[in-house]
Amino acid sequence: MNLYNFKKIMIVPPAKDFIDVMLSKTQRKTPTVVHKGYKISRIRAFYTRKVKYTQQNMYDRLSQIIQDFPKLDDVHPFYADLMNVLYDKDHYKLALGQLNNARNLINSVAKDYVRLLKYGDTLYRCKQLKKAALGRMATIIKRQASNLTYLEEVRQHLSRLPVIDPYSRTMILCGFPNVGKSSFINQITRADVEVQPYAFTTKSLYIGHTDYKYLRWQVIDTPGILDHSLESRNVIEMQAITALAHLRACILYFIDPSEQCGYSIEEQISLFESIKPIFANKPIIIVLNKVDIVSIEDLEQKKREMIKNLEKDSISLMQSSATTGQGIMEVKMEACEKLLSFRIEHKLKPKNSNILNRLHVALPKERDDRVRTPFIPENLMQKLELNSSKMETKLEKQIEEEMADDYVLDLKKKYTTIPAEERYDEIPEFWDGHNIADYIDSDIFEKLEELEREEGLREESDFYNSPILSLDQTLEEIREMAKKIRVKRFHLRDEKRLANKRNKSTIPRHKQPKVRERKLSNFKNIMQDLGVDVSNSENTNFAKSATDVRKSLVKPSTSSGRQVKLDKESGAVLRSTGLPIKRALARNEQGVKNVVMKKKLKILAQKAVAKKVRKLALKGEADRFIGNKMPKHLFSGKRGAGKTDRR
């Protein structure tokens, strides 16, 4: 349960002020100028921002109002009942619930209009949608005018309530009106409660603080309680009832024996008896006030006996006088001591004592003298025996602890799928629960001896050193050649890297390596240096150029504009192809050969462009374009003396 500081609740503005503040904030915080050259997408974003900003501001302000006000389910029951007495909790919850509903409605309205703004095709339409969105939000707030006014009144009343700690040490003063409660609290605390000789001077709860045994105590002065039924009590009396019911405190019930308050002793005692059930589990002291006027000894025998009869069930009876100060401090000390002892007893008392007092243990009674032995089925007995036998088997850890140093881990004893006589074979290799020795060829050892004998004969005859198995000389030459080619390739790669370096000034120009030229003669020289014969390489593939071959095969005839076929070696014209030289087609004519399809595609392209310009509001050929959107004086630089007449 939370303790609320009601004075920190922010002011709830009226509906009209709420709307004015939100709309003026939107006008100040968002841009307000739309230029002619803006695209429709920028205009949409402009008005969408205004709608979203207004929605967010209203949502945040309503959320703050809802969160600031206390929830009756979370606060202490004292505050909850007190608020119910003062404002009616149903109306209070209904007002907060309607504000929450308004908050959700504002969200949905903003969401709908933002969706519509995405399809706004003109400046006018976007502006009208923004205007409609803000208008609907303002209408929702106007409908909450009564709720906002009601919550503001509740806030003002809550802020005037005294700060009462329900968990602190408390003394509550109660009784009929005008019996001296306010005078007593003024004597023992520094509270300044108004004191008048007429009833109902105190109209609400007043609180004062005092010290006892280096502890802080709060003293609450309640309005007077009249002796009638609970339903017929007014708001002022119900505040006192609420304080009496929910605060863990010492109750000081004041009685005026002089009857100057306007009520007889019988009526005051009757009131005490009627509200006594509220004082359950609370220490009570009956204070006979105004004894400077009439003391208990001066009363009649009948009235004295009625007062004496109240002094029972741990209820103390004390006398005081606020005017002369007689017995004031004694009453205060007695109330503090009683409350301290009560709080200690309450803490030491077991928490479940009340529950245990309500429990009743019933014992079954025998029907007759017949002995009925328990019956256990056979299946269950077998299961129990099996479980008990399993429990008797020792774990490997227990065996290890018993044998200590003599323990040797034996995993083969757990091979239950293998017969006991085969578990400890010479080849203890198992796979999927099978002994591998069972699948070994019986003649494998004889075959192994035969192979070893053959290998020995080969070594004796020097079979492995014979010239037949020596490496071929040509193979060694090929390997040497490949090694040289590989080294040369690495050198060429490094030379290329040096040539392609960006910063070539690091090496002097006369010392830079020459850039390798890709020529056929260079290639032949390199191959000859490496020992490769390239003398008959005229018709090889690397000696031909693809471009030269193509040019030599087909050449255009300048006179006829036709293509001709030429001989490879002599260059003579063999035959004319009869085909004209092809020109590069226009881009819009490439790809589609069908003339009818070309026309259809051209029409479709025009429609697509028109759709983009008309519906999606993109810039088209006929749109106005302003190249320079800034005025000339911003480009003209600093003005000199006598140059302002040009404006």
Specify whether 195 is located in the same domain as 314: yes
Specify whether 313 is located in the same domain as 427: no
**In sequence order, which ranges of 3-39 are alpha helices (DSSP H)?**
15-29
Strand pairing of 215-221 and 206-212? antiparallel
Please check whether residue 552 lies inside any domain of the structure: no
Please check whether residue 417 lies inside any domain of the structure: yes
Please check whether residue 196 lies inside any domain of the structure: yes
What pLDDT does 149 receive?
A: 92
CB 86 within 8 A of CB 237: no
What pLDDT does 345 receive?
A: 77
The label of the residue with tokens 């503090």 reads 336
Specify whether 300 is located in the same domain as 417: no
Please check whether residue 31 lies inside any domain of the structure: yes
* Rounded (10°) CA dihedral 637, 641, 646, 647: 80
What pLDDT does 536 receive?
A: 72
What pLDDT does 14 receive?
A: 92
Specify whether 68 is located in the same domain as 171: no
SS3 (DSSP) at 219? strand
Specify whether 225 is located in the same domain as 96: no
* Per-residue model confidence as pLDDT tens digits over 91-131: 888 999 999 999 999 999 999 999 999 888 888 889 899 99
Please check whether residue 267 lies inside any domain of the structure: yes
Bridge partners of 172, per DSSP, are 220, 251
Measured between alpha carbons, how far is 33 from 250 in angstroms, rounded to an integer? 69
Please check whether residue 60 lies inside any domain of the structure: yes
Q: What's 75's DSSP letter?
A: B
* Per-residue model confidence as pLDDT tens digits over 290-308: 888 888 777 778 887 887 8
Please check whether residue 361 lies inside any domain of the structure: no
Which sign, positive or negative, has the C-alpha torsion 27, 28, 29, 30? positive
Last residue of a domain, one of 349, 370, 391: 349
Specify whether 235 is located in the same domain as 266: yes
Specify whether 185 is located in the same domain as 256: yes
CATH number at residue 85: 1.20.120.1190
* Rounded (10°) CA dihedral 142, 144, 148, 150: 130
Specify whether 304 is located in the same domain as 185: yes
Per-residue tokens: 150: 């009601």
Last residue of a domain, one of 127, 157, 187: 157
CB 174 within 8 A of CB 254: yes
What pLDDT does 1 receive?
A: 43
Number of domains in the chain: 3
Specify whether 151 is located in the same domain as 205: no
Per-residue tokens: 291: 């004894």
Least Cα distance to 272 among 256, 254, 260, 289 occurs for 254
Residue 32 sits in which domain range? 6-157
Measured between alpha carbons, how far is 24 from 589 in angstroms, rounded to an integer? 59
Per-residue tokens: 162: 């005294």
Least Cα distance to 19 among 145, 146, 141, 150 occurs for 141
SS3 (DSSP) at 174? strand
Query: CB neighbours (10 Å) of residue 320?
Result: 26
Specify whether 153 is located in the same domain as 191: no
Q: What are phi and psi of 172, to 5 degrees?
A: -115, 130
Q: How would DSSP label each residue in 542-589?
A: GG--HHHHHHHHEEE-TTT-EEEEE-SSS--EEEEEEEEPPPPPPGGG
CATH number at residue 320: 3.40.50.300
Please check whether residue 387 lies inside any domain of the structure: no
Specify whether 223 is located in the same domain as 250: yes
Last residue of a domain, one of 101, 133, 157: 157
- List b or e across 400-421, with b for residues whose CB sees 16 or more CB atoms inside 10 angstroms: eeeeeeeeeeeeeeebeebeee
**What are the 10-residue block averages of pLDDT along the chain, 647 residues in total?**
70 92 90 84 91 94 90 77 77 90 94 91 89 94 92 85 78 84 82 61 73 85 65 64 75 85 83 80 84 80 80 77 83 86 74 62 84 87 81 78 85 79 69 70 81 86 64 76 87 80 59 64 78 72 57 48 51 50 63 82 84 71 60 62 57
CB 219 within 8 A of CB 240: no
Specify whether 304 is located in the same domain as 412: no
What pLDDT does 561 receive?
A: 47
